[in-house]
Amino acid sequence: MDIKTVAFVGLGVMGEAMCRNLARKGSWRVVGYDTRQEPMQRLQADGVTSATSLADAVAEAEVVLMCLPGGNEVEAVARGTGGLLSLVHRGQMVVDMSTAPPRLMRELASAFQAKGVEFADAPVARTRRAAVDGTLSVMVGASEAVFDRLKPILATMGTEITLCGGVGAGQVVKVMNNMVVFETTMAIAEAISIAEAAGVDGRLLFETMSKGSADSFVLRNHGMKHMVIDHYPEQAFSVRYAIKDLSYARELAKENGVNARCAELMHQVFEEAVVRGDGDRYTPVIRRGMMKGKAAVDG
């Protein structure tokens, strides 16, 4: 495939940074589209062309990338009135970089392939900082041929590009990644709560744990950067987003006959955080559900 134009649909917290790297590092014309004008205006400084509509964005693109909040939005953009399935033509490629149900990916792949359009899922992991730096981990579900054509594009946004299997496999790996992050967050929240109640300093606890077998990305980031100082911003990966992603993991477990008890417990913990009024805060805020008798004030 001779790629001259890449369309990027969805310029949110992650998408805007990813689109910027695509434009800065790639050799393609990049067309961006979002329902909000602000990110498109900011990206113009990086050479991204602002599309006036979804149809305008995909008209001349050989590859169309989507980075949307979740499965419902992906389905609406793909299958809705005036959506991608009504706009694309034979020879194009559509790639979903959102986090969405694996089942939906396979359904969309069949629908796009019926129109002669290749489809792949390529969700991303790591933080917003990684999106800005272009150091994301990208988990791809595609044929080997599609993966080979797509990899140079993904390499502008990530440093770890992994072919996980056929369509849907990228999403399986991504939702399992997030499930483990959520469950690890729960474990370290319990650890610091118990340790501090027993008279041990939380920062000392985590710094010591980071030197041993309990070390992890979650410990060093969610724990040491947020739980220790009891600070959970709203402009981050929120509890509500975690509930959405965890629902995909729970759905996948049920589809495959797995009794995922930890995932079910995490769902309950997240729902309790929403009831407390913490649904829009960064996920480590679940620690507050363990802080009995202690005022939790954001710093």
174 annotated active-site = yes
Those residues with Cβ within 8 angstroms of residue 65's Cβ, 6 or more apart along the chain or in another chain: 6, 7, 8, 9, 22, 95, 97, 153
Q: If we measure between CA atoms, which residue out of 134, 98, 127, 99 comes closest to residue 233?
A: 127
CA end-to-end span of the chain: 51
Using alpha carbons only, what angle is made at residue 108 by residues 136 and 7, rounded to the nearest 5 degrees? 50
- State how far the alpha carbon of 29 is from the alpha carbons of 7, 9, 50, 62, 72, in Å: 8, 14, 11, 10, 29
Which candidate in 174, 211, 292, 294 is catalytic?
174
The DSSP code for 230 is T
Residues listed for the chain: 299
Q: Catalytic positions, please?
A: 174
